[in-house]
Amino acid sequence: MASGIDLAVQTLRDPLQQAGFRKRAGQIFTIPLTDDVLGWLGLNHAQRHREPGEVGVAPIVGIRHQEVERLIARLRREKFHEYQPPTILRQIGYVMPRHRNMLWEFGGPYGSSAEPELLAAIVDYGVPYMRSLIPLSAVLDAINQGFCHFPEYRLPAVLAVMGRYDDARAAVASAVAALGERQDAAAQELRQFAAAFTAEFG
């Protein structure tokens, strides 16, 4: 028997594809915005305290800036991924007028109305938010507001792609200084990134 989120994805797949999205692995969809920017949609979900087959869907919307992510992957000596992870991500309810966390219920008594309502939220609010993030200046603002994972990598990468090399070097130095005496794996990875960044950008 398919899980609640699988059924929700199946329900949304065709309407989202008709709206220009491409289905990716799991609960991820992307939409091309420019040659270097993908709109990114993840169908986060909750099934706790629900009946089997029922699920609450809380979409995450954002973008993946390919030039920024390509630079991070190269400096971290990682294989570049076509659409993971997003550069910026935010719960869709916070880019809507109510400005709060929102869930759409699938599989239960309200499931029949969830699909058109959720699709409208994505098209009317999610996609415009994605498009607002096309300029790198907007990506930088979003990072500074905390709408990304691992800003210690993405902040200097965005600044470097913008050509703001002094600010990028300062961001790297600040991130490394914040590690203090930490010697865990994450700290070592950041120091390696910083060394690679310094070798490339001085």
Domain interval for residue 172 = 141-201
For the residues 148-169, what does the mean pLDDT come to? 98
Given this model, what pLDDT does residue 6 score? 81
1 — pLDDT class (breaks 50, 70, 90) = very low
Could you read off the pLDDT of 104-143 as tens digits, one per residue?
Answer: 888 766 555 678 899 999 999 999 999 999 999 999 999 9
Handedness of CA 5, 11, 15, 21 (dihedral sign): positive
User: DSSP string spanning 108-164?
Assistant: STTHHHHHHHHHHHIIIIIHHHHHHT-SHHHHHHHHHTT-SS-HHHHHHHHHHHTT-
Domain end, chosen from 106, 135, 164, is at 135
Residue 7: the pLDDT is 80
pTM over the 0.85 mark: yes
State whether 190 and 97 are in the same domain. Answer: no
Reply yes or no on whether the pLDDT at 147 is more than 90: yes
Q: Which amino acid is at 139?
A: V
DSSP characters for 32-48?
A: E-SSSEEEEEEEEEE-T
pLDDT at 66: 98
* pLDDT tens figures, 44-87: 877 666 666 678 899 999 999 999 999 999 999 999 999 999 99
- 104-136: b (≥16 Cβ within 10 Å) or e: bbbbeeebeebbeebbebbeebbbebbbebbeb
Amino acid at 36: D
Same domain, 12 and 97: yes
- Do 46 and 80 lie in a common domain? yes
Do 106 and 163 fall into the same domain?
no
Residues 14-33 have pLDDT tens digits of 999 999 999 999 999 999 99
Confidence (pLDDT) at 35: 96
Q: Residues 28, 80: one domain?
A: yes
Ramachandran angles phi, psi of 91, nearest 5°: -65, 130
Distance in Å from the first CA to the final CA of the chain: 56
Q: How many domains does the chain have?
A: 2
Q: Which amino acid is at 69?
A: E
The number of beta carbons lying within 10 Å of the beta carbon of residue 91 is: 18
